[in-house]
Chain A
Amino acid sequence: ETGVTQTPRHLVMGMTNKKSLKCEQHLGHNAMYWYKQSAKKPLELMFVYSLEERVENNSVPSRFSPECPNSSHLFLHLHTLQPEDSALYLCASSQDTSGNYEQYFGPGTRLTVT
């Protein structure tokens, strides 16, 4: 395994629900990321955190709300989602945000919005 875990692995939610995705890294890294992977589309970077501070919010709708309480944990809070938000959500971590270091990915959460 990569040292990055994500829960749940699968999630089905209605458009009016509120749910949260959780990511935890056991690698001692200082940077964490959320990505969205949709079929037939490039990987979309959503948020970047460096030492618990958000450094990138890549024009993501406000119905996605990230939280990074410490350098090991990252959450993505979801509310009033749309069907087009159905995708694989990937969490990743790296030593820092310098771009010098590879990213380690979790297995992802497969989200279906009904």
Chain B
Amino acid sequence: AQSVAQPEDQVNVAEGNPLTVKCTYSVSGNPYLFWYVQYPNRGLQFLLKYITGDNLVKGSYGFEAEFNKSQTSFHLKKPSALVSDSALYFCAVRVLKTSYDKVIFGPGTSLSVIP
């Protein structure tokens, strides 16, 4: 079955330290992968995507993600975490269907950056 997983419900990191939010996927065909962030009482906001090309993708607010085909992973990273990065992070992947190509979201990872 095609799916996307975020193995950690919660990630805590100290301000100024590097952060990683993990995502793994299982899809047919070439994966199209996305990261979104959700701040409290807001909708999801697009951060970055991988369609093709360089395995390291740079996005908004200093975030980047590394596509690893052999490990079927697309981990989100940032070299130096800010308290304002505290939010809910969602990984998403395109799933091929007959009528249209659906995007499915992972369960989300709550990131807390501790001052």
Contact = CB atoms under 8 A, between A and B. Distances in A.
Contacts, number: 62
A103 B43 CA distance: 11
Contacts of B108: 42-43
A63 to B, nearest CB: 23
Interface residues of A, number: 25
Contacts of A98: 100-101
A100 B94 contact: yes
Given A42-B107, A42-B108, A99-B94, A104 B100 contact: no
Given A42-B105, A42-B108, A43-B90, A99 B43 contact: no
A105 B94 contact: no
Interface of A: 2, 4, 6, 41-43, 45, 48, 50, 55-56, 90, 92, 97-100, 102-108, 110
Contact of A2 (B45, B49, B106, B107): B45
